[in-house]
Amino acid sequence: MNGFRKLQERLREEGWYVGWAELCCQSCAWGCLPDYFEAQYDKDGYLITEDKDGKTIEYKDLDYSKVLFNHEQDCENDEWYDELSEEERDEYEYEGEGTMETYSPEDQSSSSFCFDGSKEGIKNLKSIIPIIEECGCEIHWNGKGDSRPTISWEL
């Protein structure tokens, strides 16, 4: 398990949502984050609201001041695009809905991440820097809410 996967697992234990290759760009990705922390969905994408015994599942609302994610543009595998002819490139149109081909954290050793740049979000991100480092990752960030941190890890 690489450092990013360790970090992802460890931060979930702390109540953080840590996503990889969220939809399209930062604006789209923020709009598509789940409403609930660790929600369960069926194969058709619908929220599972009852357990196998018919009891209502109580989900915890996602705390948006504790989210860390990148989006498709941060980990886009554009090698396929380079192989297109000029005519194919002219005709290409991004369709949305997660159609970009992306690298996984096992294929990419760093990425910039989105987070809540409010005072609370900054405080929360600063508080997990020791956890980031404990997981074998490095963070490069100026400590301000108007910049995205870059996190790197060994493959």
Residues 52-88 pLDDT 10s: 999 999 999 999 999 999 999 999 987 877 788 888 8
Listed residue (128, 133, 105, 102) closest to 12, CA to CA = 128
pTM for this model (two decimals): 0.85
pLDDT bucket at 21, cuts 50 / 70 / 90:
very high
pLDDT bucket at 107, cuts 50 / 70 / 90:
very high
Any idea where the domains of the chain sit in the sequence?
A: 3-152
pLDDT the model gives residue 72: 93
pLDDT average, residue stretch 93-99: 62
pLDDT bucket at 90, cuts 50 / 70 / 90:
confident
Residue 140: HSE in the Cβ half-sphere, 13 Å Cα cutoff: 7
- Residues of 114-139 as b/e, b for ≥16 C-beta within 10 angstroms? bbbeeeebbebbeebeebbeebebee
| Residue carrying the six token digits 């508080």 | 127
